[in-house]
Copies of this chain bind each other. A is one copy, B any other.
Amino acid sequence: MESSVIYSRDVAPEVLGGGVTRRVLAWLPTQMMVEVRFETDAIGAAHSHPHTQCTYVREGRFVFTVAGRDYPVGAGDTLAFASGETHGCICREAGVLIDVFTPAREDFIK
């Protein structure tokens, strides 16, 4: 896949339910950038995947649970999840996460 520029205005959100929406942003086979918006009290259920993941908190407040421990985070904080690591979050104040997966999440591509 070639280099690309993805304008925010061109990407419609996918409604995931429970106050969560997702937009797949720029990506290559090796990595995929995804915006996930949470309403206050929305939950990202604990899950795991073989992809590694880095997450940037763009805005809002969240509590992440990683390996059974809770981490309150806010704007500018970041997390890295090793392959297979179980992770989840609850949104304490409406916000936006930028998740980046390696390799790309093929299951997110229509």
Which residues of A are interface residues toward B (Cβ below 8 A)? Answer: 1-8, 25-28, 30-33, 35, 52, 54-56, 58, 64, 66-67, 71, 73, 75-83, 85, 87, 98, 100, 102
Instruction: Please judge, given known A-B contacts A3-B66, A3-B85, whether A54 and B26 are in contact too, CB under 8 Å.
Output: yes
Verify B98–A25 contact, CB threshold 8 A: no
**Is there an interface contact between B30 and A77, defined as CB atoms closer than 8 Å?**
no
Most B CB contacts (10 A, CB to CB) among A35, A66, A78 go to A78
A79 contacts B31, C-beta separation under 8 Å: no
Chain B residues near A6 (CB-CB < 8 A): 77-80
Q: Is the CB of A81 within 8 A of B3?
A: yes
Given the contacts A3-B66, A31-B100, A79-B4, A58 and B58 also touching, CB distance less than 8 Å: yes
| B71–A5 CB distance below 8 A | yes
Q: Smallest Cβ distance from A99 to chain B, in angstroms?
A: 10
Which residue on B lies nearest to A52, using beta carbons? B30
Contact between A26 and B98 (Cβ–Cβ < 8 Å)? no
Q: Which of B4, B77, B87 contacts A7 (CB under 8 A)?
A: B77
